[in-house]
Amino acid sequence: MISAIFCYYVLVTASMYWLSPWLMTLRSLYMATTTTNGSQTPIEFYLTLDATFYWLDNRHSLVGYVIYSLVILFVFCFAAYSNATKLITILSSIKYCSTLLHVISVSIDQLDRIPPTKTEHELKKIVRMHHIALRCVTLLERTLNPVMALQFVFCMLTWCLMLLYIVIVGFNVNVLNGMLVMSNLTLEMFGYCFLGTELATTGATIARQSYQFRWEQHSPDVRKTLQMIMMRSQKPLRLTAGGFISVNVEQFTMVVKTSYSILIVLKDVI
């Protein structure tokens, strides 16, 4: 459900990003064609990306502007699809690890409710599941480490520069598009941090429940097997950016505060 909501969100924001310059250009055309006092109102073509497009005159020609906008629409569709696929894949992978750890937590919690003769067998299954979960988290951390670092850097740069642009220039169509980009980056970063917090919390829950298990009432084999889970749970499970910055909601808040502080400094300097 969350993935579907995000896909719709990406579709809406990408459409708004492409439509806002188009609507402003149509308004400019309408104002130019409905002038009745004899004066000529110049037509202003608002570009989605402020750049020339090969040999087309997309700044002064209506035909060139239409061709340019259609090409940009195709590029935006591909970019939105790639962005949604990337984010859903990463979020689903983090959620899979959290769900697997949650299943292990529930299984440990139910050990006291099963017959003592089956405890050792169930505990061995939990140990195998815990090993798989730890392996998944390790691979996920190794894979997402550089991605999270770039995400933090891009978020801080986008927040600072976009808000600085608004303070200096004011609100216009370029600011609207920039705000859409900033909201997408913010939503991505918050999703990573939220699921990163959930992953760390679930891992800590396993450690706490393994210590709360009534191990003194079971055989030495059960105690040794449970000790494996206790030892493995001592290392906190977390996702990091660059290997040293934890990806969680608390860190997200700190990044927002740091970005605001940098914005204040840049505003005073400029």
The pLDDT value recorded for residue 212 is 78
Residue 58 has what pLDDT? 65
Domain ranges of the chain: 1-269
Q: Kindly provide the b/e burial profile for residues 147-186, where b requires at least 16 CB atoms within 10 angstroms of the residue's own CB.
A: ebbebbeebbebbbbbbbeeeeeeeeebbebbbbebebbe
Which tokens sit at 170?
């004011």
Q: How far apart are CA 140 and CA 238, in angstroms?
A: 10
**For residue 89, which of 203, 191, 21, 208 has the smallest C-alpha distance?**
191
Query: Would you write out the chain's pLDDT as a tens digit for each of its 270 residues?
Result: 667 777 777 778 777 777 777 777 777 777 777 765 555 667 777 776 666 666 777 677 777 778 878 888 888 888 888 888 888 888 889 999 999 999 988 888 888 777 777 877 888 888 899 889 999 999 999 999 998 999 888 888 888 888 888 888 777 767 777 787 788 888 888 889 999 999 999 988 888 888 877 777 777 877 887 788 888 888 888 889 888 888 999 989 988 888 888 888 887 777
Rounded CA-CA distance 96/101 in Å is 9
Which pLDDT does position 1 carry in this prediction?
Answer: 67
Token pair recorded at residue 269: 């300097």
